[in-house]
Structure 1
Amino acid sequence: MSSNRNLILLKRTNKKIVLQCIKENQPISRAEIASKSQISKPTVSLLVDELVQENWVLEKGIGVASSQGGRRPIQLYFNEKAGYVIGTDIGGTKVKTVICDLVGNIICTSSFKTSQYLQTGLLKQIHKEVNGMIQSYQLDSNKILGMGVGVPGITEPNKGVVVEAPSINWVRYPFITEAKRYFSFPIYIDNDVNVAALGEQWLGNAKSKENILFIAVGTGIGSGLIIHNQLYRGSSCAAGEMGYMVTDKNDMKNEFKPIFHRYGYLESVAGGKAIGERLTNLIQQKPGHPLFEEASHSELTGERAFSLAKEGEETARLVVDDAIEHLAYGIINAASLLNPEVIVLGGGVLKSSDYILPRLREIVYHYLPSTVELNTSQLEDHAEVLGAVSLFLREYESVLN
């Protein structure tokens, strides 16, 4: 009995190896797979035949004959349309959903405002959006393998529970249990910044890297950590909360007031909301400032602060450059501890990356003891949804992983 189980396990493992070999080296012949994988030719041929029959692999055309002559080998390709995966990013402002093929090509996309359906049910509306896309694009619903979801808060992926997501008022929300009321296929969830890190590793500026620090800088500041190709979640699934770093001990001697309830120090001095609030307060103290009237009646945004800083406005540059310094110190501390190959910045910071990135690099590279790439997100607004697709493909047990 044990022998049969071992044979089944060996076959499953070899089948995954063969498919991975085809994905990475296509077009490729059966003989080339055998050579690269060190699996016997008869076994490779048998496994390829199964993969072709199951529609994971396509046979196309004929390759070049060897120098010894003989028949030209049939070329094999991974069938990226063999199945589809849904990726959903649930944000405090917007819920975005995509349907992708198996290599991350987005086939269709849909979104709606979070607040509009928060009371009536986000999952119910996501289900409606998914069905609408399937019908509009005439997709075969039987080829939907499942869904990955990014959530703006602390999650327990193994239990399928959202521990706390303040922006959508979820506490101990049984996400997977609720999702099963609407979807029959497998679903996996994780923190939205974690899935963004997976997205950048799969298709973005951290592609093929195994040690990654993804930092999302917006109103808050958080990070996703991939260590030795595995997401690092921490003992209570709360790893990566960079927003709680302290980057000025003198400031902490005073009474610390977070920008929002339960926000940390770094995001309270370097997040977008904090930058806008500080600029507004400084201009309110300067009656002769061109923006005095505007700042007296409404708060300036962080985005406006960066725009003014780029134009050379002195007060805005002071505020923005100070925030960049704090962010740089946080990056130095995190990178010194984790030693990543690459650091990727995402979130609202992307809108002003041309101003931020050179200044960050100057400070970080000056103090950091080891070399590291420091880039902005290549996937931009798609990082979370594509990361959610990647999460599914990693977690779902199939021939694909």
Structure 2
Amino acid sequence: MNLKLMNKKRVLQCIQKHEAISRAEIAVKVQISKPTASLLVDELISEKWVIEKGNGESTSQGGRKPIQLYFNAKAGYILGADIGGTKVKAILCDLRGTIIAESEFNTSRYLQSGLLSQLAFEVEQMIQKSTIKMQEILGMGVGIPGVTESKSGLIIDAPSLNWVQYPFLTEAKRYFSFPIYIDNDVNAAALGEQWLGNAQNKKNVLFIAVGTGIGSGIIINNQLYRGATSAAGEIGYMVTNKNDMKSAFRPIFQRYGYLESVAGGKSIGINLTEAIQKQPDHPLYEQAMKEELSGELAFSLAEKGDKLAEAVIEDAIEHLAYGIINAASLLNPEVIILGGGVFKSADYILPKLRSMITHYLPSAVKLKTSQLGEKAGVLGAVSLFLHEHDSLLHYQYEGDYY
């Protein structure tokens, strides 16, 4: 990267971090000359990345008040899509992550008939309703629940979508004219939490999503870690019981891993159902004999003191804690963010997890739930675009300058 472009990116980043700010203050913070700072600011203003507003406070010697500079979050817009096994969520937002429009549709309904075609339709509708011009759209980030090759755009394996070796980006080019970047959905959520959530200003982050399956996104020294075959963070494949390794382990779904088969939301529901089926005097015995009970019901019963539900959830929490302890011991993150559907019951789970993790870990680590909640995936997809797309905003991996 040439020196001028690098300094221009640094100036823009400085304005984003420290608005309202003057040209003179930028020169000091970025450690460049005042004329250079002023010239770069003028370029950023002409390109609509920066806007000027009002006047700041006068200097201690009096004199003219400096003009204040602000980042223009409306300089462009980004789409984010979170393709889940149940729903596809999409948003249109500005460069600060402010959501302008959002949409969602059922995954299974369109999986066979054309999921990308439906996503393109939803995107078109959002753009039209927002009155934003197509040329203002910088591009789109997409989170996908599976092993994803970001560079080639190939979905290696996404069990919940039944995609194997699926050429996502090649197919997407038939429907979208702007740049698209894809990654594993939990990787995207980790970036989202670092951008706007509970991992802001943290360079070493572990995001763990616990829903039907269990996955994690890893950020090391401010960079997303994908691994040799783009399968890093598949914490759901951890084995947390040595005795089960000696037996014929059967995953809860085909191609699912051990941990998600014993501690995911689906497995909690199955284990509760089987436990109640052995207790004819349980109030839900008849229901359990007819249908599979949900993980949500298990937590509801446990919070009311149901002993069977408590035992099922305690077992799941133990397995989850072992997985977190092993991952945190290896990665030493500054913060662990917990997300996914299971953490709707965070008040019940977190104290138990914290107690176990604190007991076993060599050093303390902050354990928090996702601040972005159900929007972690779509906002993370937007953050993914900002990280991957080569523009003046592409500086997150270059480190802090001041």
Do Structure 1 and Structure 2 share a fold, with TM-score over 0.5?
yes
1:150 is aligned to 2:143: yes
Query: After superposition, what is the alpha-carbon deviation per residue over 1:108-162, rounded to whole angstroms, capped at 9, x for unaligned?
Result: 1001001111122111111111111111121122110000000111111011111
Amino acid at match of 1:202: W
Matched residue, 2:46:
53
Match of 1:62 among 55, 60, 63: 55
Amino acid at match of 2:103: S
1:231 is aligned to 2:224: yes
- CA RMSD across the alignment: 1.0
Amino acid at match of 1:290: P
Deviation at 1:234, TM superposition (A): 0.8
1:163 is aligned to 2:125: no
Deviation at 1:16, TM superposition (A): 0.5
Amino acid at match of 2:11: V
Match of 1:309 among 302, 306, 320: 302
Other structure's SS at 1:87 match: strand
Which structure 2 residues correspond to residues 165-314 of structure 1 after superposition, within 5 A? 165-314=158-307
Say if 1:211 and 1:342, in contact at 8 Å, map to a contact too.
Answer: yes
Matched residue, 2:324:
331
CA distance in 1, matches of 2:250, 2:142: 33
Say if 2:338 and 2:368, in contact at 8 Å, map to a contact too.
Answer: yes
The 10-residue stretch of structure 1 (280-289 or 79-88) with the greater mean CA deviation from structure 2: 280-289
CA distance in 2, matches of 1:283, 1:319: 11
Other structure's SS at 2:262 match: helix
CA distance in 2, matches of 1:365, 1:274: 26
1:85 is aligned to 2:47: no
Matched residue, 1:378:
371
Deviation at 1:389, TM superposition (A): 0.3
Query: After superposition, what is the alpha-carbon deviation per residue over 1:330-364, rounded to whole angstroms, capped at 9, x for unaligned?
Result: 10011001100000111112211110001000110
Q: Which runs of 5+ in 1 are unaligned?
A: 1-5
CA distance in 1, matches of 2:109, 2:276: 35
Amino acid at match of 2:331: L
Q: TM-score, normalised by structure 1?
A: 0.97
Runs of 4+ in 1 over 3 A off after TM superposition: none
Say if 1:350 and 1:380, in contact at 8 Å, map to a contact too.
Answer: no
Matched residue, 1:3:
none
Other structure's SS at 2:151 match: coil
Deviation at 1:251, TM superposition (A): 2.9
1:42 is aligned to 2:42: no
Query: After superposition, what is the alpha-carbon deviation per residue over 1:152-177, rounded to whole angstroms, capped at 9, x for unaligned?
Result: 11111011111111222222111111
Matched residue, 2:115:
122
CA distance in 1, matches of 2:16, 2:340: 31
CA distance in 1, matches of 2:30, 2:178: 32
Query: After superposition, what is the alpha-carbon deviation per residue over 1:169-224, rounded to whole angstroms, capped at 9, x for unaligned?
Result: 22211111111111111110000010011001111111111111111101111111
Say if 2:159 and 2:255, in contact at 8 Å, map to a contact too.
Answer: no
1:71 is aligned to 2:64: yes
Matched residue, 1:368:
361
Say if 1:200 and 1:377, in contact at 8 Å, map to a contact too.
Answer: yes
Other structure's SS at 1:282 match: helix
When the two structures are aligned, how many residues end up with a matched partner? 394
Matched residue, 2:400:
none
Matched residue, 2:99:
106
1:131 is aligned to 2:143: no
Q: Which runs of 5+ in 2 are unaligned?
A: 395-402
Amino acid at match of 1:91: G
1:351 is aligned to 2:335: no
Amino acid at match of 2:106: K
Say if 2:159 and 2:254, in contact at 8 Å, map to a contact too.
Answer: no
